[in-house]
Amino acid sequence: MADVFFLGTGGALATGERDNTAFLLRAGASWALIDCPGSVLQKIVRAGVRPVDVTSLFITHVHPDHVYGLPSLVHGLMLKDHVLRLFGSAETIDFCGRLLDLFGLWRPKYRTRVEFAELKPGKPAAVSGGVEVTGHRVPHHVSSLAYEFRLEDGGRKLVFSGDAPVHPALFERAEEADALFHDCSAPSRFFAQYPALASRHTSALDLGTWSERARVRTLVPCHFLAELDFPLSEAEAEIRAGYSGRLVMPADLEGFVIA
């Protein structure tokens, strides 16, 4: 069984090959969902996971492509006696509560219940199945948190950046991580062409350089921007120019075993 499923690996603009970025992470006997874009129930099932086995949800920030599937997820599970713990920053928790209110998803007919768990940046919290998570602020949006997971199984450390520019403090947290899943929105030539990208996202060239510096054991780039025309091989070559570790170029609905 895979440790992580790539439910989506693209940016805000979905394509026929890549949907919005989201992951399933195995946590003991249950699963954690990281971000919640559209059609998430279908993709969970296609990954071979029972939706009721997803017991926790981590929202990195409240841009639409990371959270707009939440009402659909709760609505689709309305007849299941299920509790979903939703983790995020204070801003994310507030937004998600209002989003569920908008659709009336607290009414008694909804047997799936959402429990909110606000994460204080830098303060670890227990999840389930021997998993501990720490949220870290990243400068993409006021609600943004990156997530550092510590797995009891082998003491492994996994870091998910969410959308993020190069943020030295996050790479310090990712030092010698067993796996880093990080924004890699485009090759560096687009960052030269559109300088504002660098304040919100990370280029392939910078990702390789910073990941090598942090001695990341396995690097998984994601959040490729379909608005910009480039072959994935170009991003891969730029990462490889600076990074010598294990590199996994992900595809949607593939599984991944952490070495």
- Structural domains present in the chain: 4-249 (3.60.15.10)
Local confidence band at 129 (pLDDT 50, 70, 90 cut-offs): confident
The H or E element containing residue 240 is helix 232-242
Per-residue pLDDT of 222-253, as tens digits, reads 999 999 999 999 999 999 999 999 999 999 99
Instruction: Supply 178's token pair.
Output: 């067993």
What's the confidence (pLDDT) of residue 130? 82
Angle at Cα 138 formed by Cα 30 and Cα 3, nearest 5°? 25
On whether the pTM is more than 0.85, the answer is: yes
Local confidence band at 119 (pLDDT 50, 70, 90 cut-offs): very high
Per-residue pLDDT of 152-203, as tens digits, reads 766 899 999 999 999 999 999 999 999 999 999 999 999 999 999 999 999 9
d(CA 107, CA 66): 24
Torsions phi, psi of 206, nearest 5? -65, -35
109-118 burial, b at 16+ Cβ within 10 Å, e below that, comes to ebebebeebe
Q: Residue 84: left if φ>0, alpha if ψ -120 to 50, beta else—which one? A: beta
d(CA 35, CA 63): 10
| Catalytically annotated residues | 65
Per-residue pLDDT of 36-72, as tens digits, reads 999 999 999 999 999 999 999 999 999 999 999 999 9
Local confidence band at 1 (pLDDT 50, 70, 90 cut-offs): low
* Residue entry with tokens 């091989």: 233
